[in-house]
Structure 1
Amino acid sequence: MKKIFTLVTLLSFSFLTFGQNLPGLAPGQTPTEKPILHGKNWMAITGKPLAATAGATIFNQGGNAVDAACAMLAATATMWDVLSWGGETQALIYHPELKKVIAINALGYAPTGATVEFYKSQGMEYPPAFGPLAATTPGTPGGLMTMLAEYGTLSLEQVLAPAMQLAQGYPIEAQTANSIEGSKERIKEWPYSKEVFLSHLGEEREAPTPGEIFVQKDLYETLKKLVETEKEALAAGKSREEAIYAANERFYKGDIAKEIVRGTREQGGLFTEEDLANWKVKIEEPLMVDYKGIQVYKLQEWTQGPALLQSLNILENFDLKQMGYNSAEYLHTVYQAMNLAFADRDFYYSDPAFEPKSPIQGLLSKEYAKDRAKLIKDINDPKMGAGDPYPYQGGSNPFKNMLSLEGETTKEQIHLAELSGTDDPYFEAFFSGTTSIQAADKDGWVVSITPSGGWVPAVIAGRTGVGLSQRMQSFVLDEKLNPYNLPEPGKRPRVTLTPSLALKDGKPFLSFAVQGGDSQDQNLLQFFLNVVEFDMNVQEAVEAANMNSLQMQSSFGAHEIKPGHMILRDDTPVWIRSELVKKGYIMDFWPRTSGPINAIWFDWKHGSMWGGSANYGDDYGIAW
């Protein structure tokens, strides 16, 4: 799925290791594997070096951070950085003129016929992880064009130019090429995917080799149609915004939409032309909590983002700094706070446009968090379940009778502890990747995006070159798991994707995001605490050793749980390990456990930006 699986086999340099200092370093200094990025004018960070270059190109053409972020989004989708053009886009944008954070919901929804009854009639316990029946409607094209039209400054033609050059042919990276080779048997099930991905069909290696020029003719033609439509609209006297929306109309209601529907239904999917025509990007109000004078923003509960906010509310009741970075007490306390927040995520989070609505006001209540914090004991509770937030918002819980069942996991859900290691399919699902995009400019625009969906192996929709999302798998079919997150046409599944922005003193403080499925808000929570509680700079914080809990439902596949299971970095001292065993944990140890996180910290004292880019694989940043 993403570099997390291949790179955990690499040797890890010991840094930020429980207060140790290395020879030649002054006390308090800590080396990092990658340098901090310093910029005065702009910063562009994402999951691929070529895509970061696309962002830098747009900045050099005079674009703002939204323009650059859209160019990086287009490039990463074209390069299959664990997403494609048929996936979904989630973004937070700081608008410097309005001095507010804006949320972009460009997640596709369930197509016509996608119901609990339909999937059960197919003999399924969950919607499938792959294939045409896993696909929500494409969201990324609409998300990109909406952000560009509303908040950008350049034309669609300018912003798509790097991606179109990539579609005409680029030297494919080993990560993507090898992912294609490893998935080739599934890819062969879908004729259009086989034609695009398997350039050496019938040979021993059927995927492209690393460095080979990878060409996507159909995708190039699709992007070319969007640019042609924009040009025609401009020639007819339309404004920049109207011309971009004309291209958006062609994708969702014109000949592109018709081919997406035809190609999807040919391969067994459910899309109708009405499904694409009726889907719209939502510009929303984000959710926010205040943590010690810092306002932390996340997307609404159609993502897992509020779990980070809930965790912060719970952790406010503890003296984390006094516990010490990654002490046994600290790791246990953070693990337990996440248990409480993610148990609520698993039971309550869903698309707020549908009934029943998640009780988000109660879930984010400081009083609710205080009462949840009282449940944290000295040892791990493997049956930690959801709480009842309804009284904290003056309501009555319609599913209160299910709460006693929610903490009980079936034998099928519990993934046995001996099935450990990075080659375990459970880990592949739990840490399913995406990419992240961070952009900021001297005028104050800040953009944080976690796009995803349509990763390899993806079903390509006919002759469009568009790889379809696999996001239907994040629905559940059993209301005892989550009575709010059951599939129905037009409904968005609850996803893991979760960009972050934080403000302090009314100005941007941090912009941060990470790939990694259910691990995302765990790693982002610890990154934030590394900066705020332990005074790490942004690069130290993205590389620092984190802990990952597996005591929550996986959002993918069969939604398994591993109660009490914890992943730690392999340089964790033996005395910390011993204390955690006493507290009831089962531990795995990996060379890297931090993400990969990409982030920007704003230095208002000096008028500059500090960028942190993960020391995993391909993530890369450029600044000026």
Structure 2
Amino acid sequence: MKRLLVTLVLLATLFSAGAQTQKPVLHGKNWMAITGKPLAATAGAMIFQQGGNAVDAACAMLAATCTMWDVLSWGGETQALIFNPKTGKVIAINALGVAPTGATSAFFHEKGMEFPPQYGPLAATTPGTVGGLCLMLANYGTMTLEQVLKPAMELAAGYPIEAQTANQMERGKEMIRQWPYSKAVFLPHTGEKREAPAAGEIFVQKDLLETLRKMVEAERSALKRKMNRKDAIMAANDRFYKGDIATEFVRGAQEQGGLITLQDLANWKAIEEEPMKVSYKGIDVYKLQQWTQGPMLLQALNILENFDLKSMGYNSARYIHTIYQAMNLAFADRDFYYGDPYFPPAEPMKGLLSKDYARMRAAQVSNDRNMAQASPGDPYPFQGGTNPYREMLKKRGFSLDTTSTNRPAGFMPAHDNRTGATNAAESLPLDSAYMERLWAGTTSVEAADKDGWVVSITPSGGWLPATIAGKTGVGMSQRLQSFVLDSTLNPFNVIEPGKRPRVTLTPSMALKDGKPFLSFAVQGGDTQDQNLLQFFLNMVEFGMNVQEAAEAANINSNQLWLSLGGEKTADRKPRAGSILLHDNTPVWVQQELRRMGYSISLDDRTSGPINAIYFDWKHNSFWGGSSNHGEDYGIGW
């Protein structure tokens, strides 16, 4: 006990006094630009220096990261939160593509799949990023599309490629060879020992450059016809989704076996929405709606508000246990109740985000044992309704008894664990393929300016190895894999043409006293909201600054259904009690967690790259944080 108290005192001292971080805090007075690649952050800085606002700069960084294949491309999807200082409101941007014509459960079942495929033309939703960028820029930016795309077009004309991306191309070359348009772009040295570009080689994308040029040409033409800036940007958007770019995209996709039609592209558009929000100790936290996993973080905060986290101590066994349990309960709800709000049935979000529901869920947390059978709750009574899925949940072995707390371990439903495990020792193994699916990356974009505009984006899709659609240079999304084909897994997220899959992508924003407090995002598949939750608590509960919080050791739970990768149910099942800890976690903390039923993995990396901006209203300045993992980079002025 004495040893534990000494550890907690040392940790408290470390983070109150200001720890030495591996990367410095970024400071700025006029603007801040942070994203997944140094050159892309430079693109944002260039736009700021030319007089653009945070939306302009964010769009330039988004375009640059897509062009640099920073675990995404132009055919992927974009999710964003924007703070508008003129209205004092947070705006949500839904630029997620939809399932194409013919993408049904029956179609994939006939191919012997239990989930849509991980790669290739049949994994693609319709492109969303182009529409999201155009919508944001038109409604809230100040510049033309041509100005914002200029850095990306220079990159497409040729830039010195980084080792990380070049090596991804080389590792994926066996798959890339299947797709002729991808092969032409990614393997310029076909037949040689190394077929992908080498680090530092000038990587040229002529077809993509032509696609971007066509969009700029459409904008110029519209401006010559005396259209206003907004309509001219949307004319470029229409050329992508309804014009000659769309025609070539569909031709190239279908040639390689894809399902996307011209009508699918023409019918799709980005949507501006109301974000979801909860208040945690006087701080309003905003996330996108239930077509993302974002509300899971809000649910976890509501649950954790019922515990005195600060008194437990940062990353003590009790703190880790409590965080893990709250996340698992929120993930159980995510895995069953989240889906596209534009398709029936309606998700019970009012109940799920209710403080009363959270208190009920918090009461189910055992003080000394992992709940290996953590199940979806019943939010319907908390919004004045009756759960229509009680029988479905009972068939899966879940109990909706809300009166019992600290329930003893029962059997794990067959769907949820191959072995019927009730403890960590029997949990499914964590092989490299599983961890790759769990950590599947993306990028993030954070921008803020002195006039009060703030942008947080988590774009993704079309990552390497990607299928390029024809001569467009545009990589197709792989997001269809986030649907389920079996309604008993999630009746709200069953694949259907025109429907959006429930994705992991989840930008975040927090306001305090009506003013921006934090803008933050991270890459990493199902770990995103796990790491963002802990980042937020690191600052709010433990007083870390934004860079300390970005570098701090986190935990990751594997007791959830994976959202990405693997065409078989066994690939995605929860790993009961499986937890990732930082390898500097004290031995006695590990021992205590094992006694609670956890199976521990250790690593020196426990979070994807977190990018964030903290708003210092006392000094009217920005503090930027960018994780010490990966190539993420920021610039402030």
Deviation at 1:419, TM superposition (A): 3.8
> Secondary structure in 2 aligned to 1:194?
helix
Q: Which amino acid is 2:578 matched to?
A: H
> Secondary structure in 2 aligned to 1:258?
helix
List structure 1 runs of 4+ shifted beyond 6 angstroms: none
1:16-56 CA distance string (max 9 Å, x none): x8554899x99833110000000000000000000000000
Give me the whole-angstrom Cα distance separating, in 1, the residues matched to 2:251 and 2:413.
41
Give me the whole-angstrom Cα distance separating, in 2, the residues matched to 1:341 and 1:271.
34
Deviation at 1:480, TM superposition (A): 1.3
1:489-521 CA distance string (max 9 Å, x none): 100000000000000001000000000000000
Q: Percent identity?
A: 68
1:158 to 132, 144, 147: 147
The alignment status of 1:56 with 2:45, answered yes or no, reads: yes
TM-score by length of 1: 0.95
Counterpart for residue 512 of structure 2: 504
Counterpart for residue 567 of structure 1: 580
Counterpart for residue 72 of structure 1: 61
Counterpart for residue 106 of structure 1: 95
Counterpart for residue 403 of structure 1: 393
Give me the whole-angstrom Cα distance separating, in 1, the residues matched to 2:70 and 2:167.
12
1:579 to 571, 592, 595: 592
TM-score by length of 2: 0.93
Deviation at 1:478, TM superposition (A): 1.1
Give me the whole-angstrom Cα distance separating, in 2, the residues matched to 1:579 and 1:413.
25
Q: Which amino acid is 1:82 matched to?
A: V
Counterpart for residue 482 of structure 1: 490
Q: Pick which of 312-321 and 25-34 moved more.
A: 25-34
Counterpart for residue 473 of structure 2: 465
2:377 to 387, 406, 409: 387
1:280 to 256, 269, 274: 269
> Secondary structure in 2 aligned to 1:122?
coil
Residues 368, 568 of structure 1: CA spacing in aligned structure 2 closer, same or farther, 3 A cutoff?
A: same
Q: Is the 8 A contact 1:385 1:403 kept in 2?
A: no
Give me the whole-angstrom Cα distance separating, in 1, the residues matched to 2:346 and 2:104.
18
The alignment status of 1:426 with 2:434, answered yes or no, reads: yes
Q: Is the 8 A contact 2:299 2:330 kept in 1?
A: yes
Give me the whole-angstrom Cα distance separating, in 1, the residues matched to 2:512 and 2:429.
43
Counterpart for residue 173 of structure 2: 184
1:235 to 190, 215, 224: 224
1:389-434 CA distance string (max 9 Å, x none): 011111121111122316544478659757446xx11000111000
Residues 412, 382 of structure 1: CA spacing in aligned structure 2 closer, same or farther, 3 A cutoff?
A: closer
- Give the superposed CA RMSD: 1.7
Counterpart for residue 9 of structure 1: none
Residues 21, 514 of structure 1: CA spacing in aligned structure 2 closer, same or farther, 3 A cutoff?
A: closer
Deviation at 1:617, TM superposition (A): 2.0
Counterpart for residue 530 of structure 2: 522
Residues 205, 361 of structure 1: CA spacing in aligned structure 2 closer, same or farther, 3 A cutoff?
A: same
The alignment status of 1:438 with 2:430, answered yes or no, reads: no
Give me the whole-angstrom Cα distance separating, in 2, the residues matched to 1:493 and 1:21.
41
1:513 to 507, 521, 544: 521
Residues 19, 61 of structure 1: CA spacing in aligned structure 2 closer, same or farther, 3 A cutoff?
A: farther
Counterpart for residue 408 of structure 2: none
Q: Is the 8 A contact 2:527 2:607 kept in 1?
A: no
Q: Pick which of 496-505 and 114-123 moved more.
A: 114-123
Counterpart for residue 7 of structure 1: none
Give me the whole-angstrom Cα distance separating, in 1, the residues matched to 2:12 and 2:543.
19
Give me the whole-angstrom Cα distance separating, in 2, the residues matched to 1:318 and 1:307.
18
Counterpart for residue 593 of structure 1: 606
> Mapping of 1:45-444 within 5 angstroms?
45-377=34-366, 378-404=368-394, 405=396, 407=398, 408-410=412-414, 414=418, 419-420=429-430, 424-444=432-452
Deviation at 1:560, TM superposition (A): 2.7
The alignment status of 1:542 with 2:555, answered yes or no, reads: no
Q: Which amino acid is 1:216 matched to?
A: Q
Deviation at 1:143, TM superposition (A): 0.3
> Secondary structure in 1 aligned to 2:505?
coil
Give me the whole-angstrom Cα distance separating, in 2, the residues matched to 1:260 and 1:18.
57
Counterpart for residue 630 of structure 2: 617
Q: Is the 8 A contact 1:406 1:481 kept in 2?
A: no
Counterpart for residue 28 of structure 2: 39
Deviation at 1:459, TM superposition (A): 0.6
Q: Is the 8 A contact 1:386 1:406 kept in 2?
A: no
